[in-house]
Amino acid sequence: MPRHSPSSTHHDTNTATVEAVASTSRELRAMLENDVYMEETPLEVQMTMGNALCALDEALRLLTSAPFPASQPVPRSANLPTPKQGQFLAYIDAYMRTNHAGLAPTHARLQRYFNLTAPSVNSMLVRLEERGFIRRIAGQPRGITLTIDPALLPPLERPFK
């Protein structure tokens, strides 16, 4: 997996943000232009949707017109997972490499391995996703993909069964 410099990662993030905002703006605009849909939509909701579309369009304008800010170098440690996050990521990586044709572990397996409750496992997965170490696919069981370079992961502290 290629390594990205902080500036290329920032550029990739900005590009993804622009694409997401543009897509959301297009979808909302299509809804507002759908007469059948709008007939059933209360006026207050229509106004809110219109305001949201204006805000999205303004955000898109700012994202595409402003030059990238001069970013300060991010300390290397800020790009690395915490020790506990590293263990979660290492477990997911090892599990996917050795089990079920690349499928991620279930929440129940993560609970058993780390001796955590379901909310704690979910909270960790949310944090890993927020930090950009994994991507979760909504509505897909075991829908986790690692986005961090496996070479950056620590070894597992104990083997899994």
pLDDT tens digits along 50-63: 887 777 788 788 77
Same domain, 88 and 144: yes
pLDDT at 52: 79
Q: Judge whether 94 lies within some domain.
A: yes
Q: How many helices (H) and strands (E) does the chain have?
A: 6, 2
Residues 58, 101: one domain? no
Residues 111 and 87 in one domain: yes
Mean pLDDT of 66-75: 52
Count structural domains, the chain.
Answer: 2
Question: Looking only at Cα atoms, what is the longest distance across the chain?
Answer: 60
Is residue 49 within 8 A of residue 31, CB to CB? The reply is yes
pLDDT of residue 12: 58
CA 58 to the chain's CA centroid: 23
Digit-coded pLDDT (tens) for 25-41: 898 898 889 888 788 87
Structural domain that includes position 123: 80-152
Mean local confidence (pLDDT), 79-104: 89
Task: Please give the pLDDT value at position 114.
Answer: 95
Domain's final residue, options 21, 42, 65: 65
Same domain assignment for residues 48 and 97: no
* 70 belongs to a structural domain: no
Q: Note whether 102 and 62 are within 8 A (CB).
A: no
pLDDT score for 117: 95
Give the separation between CA 103 and CA 114, rounded to whole angstroms: 19
Kindly report the CA angle at 16 between 49 and 24, in degrees rounded to 5? 15
Q: In whole numbers, what is the pLDDT of the chain averaged over residues?
A: 81
Residue 72 lies in a domain: no
Are residues 98 and 124 both part of a single domain?
Answer: yes
Please check whether residue 22 lies inside any domain of the structure.
yes
Look at residue 1 and tell me whether its pLDDT is greater than 60: no
Q: What CATH number did the domain enclosing 97 receive?
A: 1.10.10.10
114 and 147 in a single domain? The answer is yes
Return the number of other C-beta atoms located less than 10 Å from residue 120's C-beta: 13
Q: Are residues 85 and 122 in the same domain?
A: yes
Residue 136 main-chain phi, psi, to 5 deg: -110, 140
Check whether residue 100 and residue 38 sit in a common domain. Answer: no
Give pTM, 2 decimals: 0.52
Residue 46 lies in a domain: yes
Give the pLDDT mean for 93-104. Answer: 84
Q: What is the pLDDT of residue 100?
A: 61
Buried b (16+ CB within 10 A) or exposed e, 38-72: eeeeeeeeeeebeeebeebeebbeeeeeeeeeeee
| Model pLDDT, residue 147 | 93
